[in-house]
């Protein structure tokens, strides 16, 4: 036995190590907004000292442990010493240490622009190695624009970046700021979600999918075309199947080149071509987000289409997005098709905020018009649903039912190779299974069958028909008779069996291979459609 005094790893060192590893570090970047405001004779105004006035006094944000000083860096790289606080032990047996860096001056969210986005991005970049996650406190008016812009600017992101704010200041007794900030801290400190997200009213959204839908309610934001990535309640539930991760091992960086010569125009009934032309003739305009009716429509006016087409030929990138909260633009109707022929890009289900910021970002990359048009209609950060993706999936089909469906389609199409693959992959004999109408795969498609007639049934082999009165089957199918070019192969009618005559026109005529009753069904040859099994 080794004496305890000779062990170089003291118990104290293990305790210190456990305390260090059970603590995550989060940098909170205070840009301004309602969350940090206080009352004044002139109304609510932004106020500094957020840590001392709002966080240190709340037990949910401060476990009253000795305060530590952490070093952080501004967007210009200047080092600052910040006071840090630590949350109490969470349900995940972990504590979160955080500090708050306040912008000076605090920004008004309704006045933020590309310069403000760069300041936030480089603050994250300069502190990327020293913190596990980042929270950006921001006003709600332009919160969806900032979260969308950052999702494109932050390249190869490997840590959570969560933007949040509130409808009422944290200094008020009744507020949503406490829940929004605490929920953001819990997710940032425990879950590795390497995306730019927006957290509001207990739900975590992909940043470039969220949009503000209410000016006064606590549930101010929604993600109409993408489910929440996580939901915070008694337990936090994350949708890991939706969360995107970097697909290449590359260094985190910021793409700062943005070209803000972009406009947004909402189509309305009776809009004149001269109005649209006036916007498109703005000096140095390079892009336009066109908010159209429904699935991407606008008034049928040849002059309007001509104005848009001329702008596209001049190199202006025009992106078509819907005014509707939910749905996508697509060339389903003639007006939408005319837009596509004129050179307008279909933005699918992009929000207006994501379309605008994505276009600003792409224009700053120095790409060709063709490259920009292509990337605007394809998902880069999960910001849109491409039409090539699956629009519908059978909900919760079991493998057996899925194979039964595949087998039915293969028999209908006369695809012998697919039939072989399906049957070889299943341990059960699918030809005795039935669909919702009570039909077996061989009789589910009436166009494929010429005759479905059972042999005279015996008492031990009951015959049933589907709800349409078509088809017949016994308790077990032992032989299948196939008619090809007028020639019948196989034989049925044995006692207790049912023979099925199928029209397999186009299949090659092959020698009948009879399988013994003692052979397992999977050794039976599929050509020419004779199956013998017990």
Mind listing the pLDDT tens digit for each residue in 20-75? Answer: 557 899 999 999 988 988 888 877 888 888 888 888 888 889 888 888 899 999 99
Ranges of residues in the chain whose predicted pLDDT is under 50 = 1-17, 389, 444-467, 470-534
Of the candidates 203, 121, 202, 212, which has an alpha carbon nearest to the alpha carbon of residue 161? 121
Instruction: Report how far residue 298's alpha carbon sits from residue 285's, in angstroms, rounded to the nearest whole number.
Output: 22
Show the 3-state SS of 418-465: HHHHHHHHCCCCHHHCCCCCCCCHHHCCCCCEEECCCCCCCCCCCCEC
* pLDDT of amino acid 117: 95
CB atoms within 10 A of CB 342: 18
Buried b (16+ CB within 10 A) or exposed e, 132-145: bbbbbbbbbbbbbb
In this predicted model, what pLDDT tens digit does every residue of 415-428 receive, in sequence order? 888 888 888 777 66
The pLDDT assigned to 421 comes to: 84
Give the C-alpha distances (Å, rounded to integers) separating 172 from 35, 139, 177, 216.
10, 16, 9, 15
Is the separation of the CB atoms in 502 and 465 below 8 Å? no
Contact 386, 379 (CB under 8 A): yes
Average pLDDT, the chain: 79
Bridge partner list, 29: 101, 136
Domains annotated for the chain, with CATH where assigned, are: 18-253 (3.40.50.1170), 262-376 (3.40.50.40), 399-523 (no CATH)
Note if 479 is an active site residue. no
Which runs of E-coded beta strand occur in 246-371? Answer: 253-254, 262-266, 287-292, 317-322, 345-346
DSSP β-bridge partners for residue 254: 154
Closest CA to 100 of 114, 119, 80: 80
Strand partners, 487: 484
Task: State the burial class of residue 512 (Cβ atoms within 10 Å of its Cβ: 0-12, 13-18, 19+).
Answer: middle
Name the burial class of residue 390, with classes exposed (0-12), middle (13-18) and buried (19+) by CB atoms within 10 angstroms of its CB. Answer: exposed
Q: What is the pTM of this model?
A: 0.69
| Pairing relationship of beta strands 449-451 and 501-503 according to DSSP bridges | antiparallel
Taking phi over 0 as left and psi of -120 to 50 as alpha, with beta for the rest, 469 belongs to left
Q: CA 476, 480, 486: angle at the middle one, nearest 5?
A: 155
Run of H or E including 119 = helix 114-126
How far apart (Å, rounded) are the C-alpha atoms in residues 462 and 219? 60
Which two structure tokens, joined as six digits, stand for 262?
Answer: 């972009």
Q: What's the CA gap between 440 and 451, in Å, rounded?
A: 14
Neighbours of 23 (CB within 10 A): 15
**8 A C-beta contact, residue 272 and residue 303:** no
Q: Which of 31, 34, 164, 351 is the catalytic position?
A: 34
Are 425 and 410 in contact, with CB atoms under 8 Å apart? no
- Separation in Å, CA 71 to CA 99, 168, 202, 226, 451: 9, 30, 31, 37, 83
């Amino acid at each position: 036995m080794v004496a305890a005094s000779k062990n170089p790893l003291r118990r104290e060192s293990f305790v210190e190590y456990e305390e260090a590893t059970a603590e995550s570090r989060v940098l909170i970047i205070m840009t301004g907004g309602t969350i940090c405001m206080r009352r004044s004779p002139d109304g609510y105004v932004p106020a500094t000292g957020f840590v001392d006035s709002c966080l240190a006094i709340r037990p949910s944000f401060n476990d009253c442990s000795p305060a530590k000083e952490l070093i952080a860096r501004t967007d210009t790289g200047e080092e600052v010493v910040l006071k840090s606080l630590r949350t109490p032990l969470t349900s995940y047996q972990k504590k979160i240490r955080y500090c708050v860096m306040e912008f000076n001056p605090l920004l008004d969210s309704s006045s933020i622009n590309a310069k403000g986005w760069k300041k936030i991005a480089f603050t994250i970049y300069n502190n990327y190695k020293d913190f596990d996650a980042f929270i950006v406190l921001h006003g709600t008016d332009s919160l969806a624009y900032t979260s969308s812009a950052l999702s494109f600017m932050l390249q190869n992101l490997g840590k959570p970046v969560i933007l949040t704010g509130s409808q009422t200041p944290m200094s008020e007794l009744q507020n949503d700021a406490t829940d929004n900030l605490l929920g953001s801290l819990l997710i940032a400190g425990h879950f590795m979600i390497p995306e730019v997200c927006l957290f509001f009213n207990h739900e975590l959204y992909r940043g470039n999918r969220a949009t503000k839908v209410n000016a006064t309610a606590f549930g101010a934001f929604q993600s109409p075309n993408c489910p929440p990535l996580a939901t915070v309640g008694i337990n936090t539930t994350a949708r890991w199947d939706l969360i995107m991760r970097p697909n290449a091992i590359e260094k985190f960086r910021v793409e700062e080149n943005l070209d803000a010569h972009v406009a947004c125009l909402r189509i309305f009934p009776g809009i004149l071509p001269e109005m649209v032309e006036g916007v498109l003739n703005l000096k140095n305009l390079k892009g336009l987000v066109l908010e159209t009716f429904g699935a991407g429509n606008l008034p049928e006016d040849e002059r309007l289409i001509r104005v848009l087409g001329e702008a596209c030929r001049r190199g202006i990138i025009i992106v078509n997005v819907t005014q509707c909260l939910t749905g996508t633009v697509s060339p389903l109707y003639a007006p939408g098709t005319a837009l596509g022929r004129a050179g307008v890009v279909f933005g699918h289900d992009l929000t207006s905020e994501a379309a605008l910021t994505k276009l600003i970002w792409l224009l700053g990359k120095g790409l060709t018009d063709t490259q920009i048009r292509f990337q605007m209609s394809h998902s880069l950060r999960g910001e849109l649903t491409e039409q090539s993706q699956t629009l519908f999936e059978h909900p919760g089909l079991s493998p057996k039912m899925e194979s039964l469906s595949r087998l039915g389609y293969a028999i209908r199409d006369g695809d012998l190779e697919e039939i072989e693959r399906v049957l070889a992959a299943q341990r059960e004999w699918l030809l005795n299974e039935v669909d919702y109408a009570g039909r077996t795969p061989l009789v589910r498609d009436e166009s494929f069958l010429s005759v479905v007639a059972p042999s005279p049934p015996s008492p031990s082999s009951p015959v049933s028909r589907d709800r349409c009165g078509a088809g017949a089957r016994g308790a077990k199918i032992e032989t299948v008779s196939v008619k090809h070019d007028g020639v019948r192969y196989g034989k049925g009618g044995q006692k207790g069996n049912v023979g099925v005559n199928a029209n397999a026109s186009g299949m090659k005529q092959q020698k009948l291979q009879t399988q013994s009753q003692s052979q397992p069904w999977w050794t039976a040859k599929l050509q020419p459609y004779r199956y013998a099994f017990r």
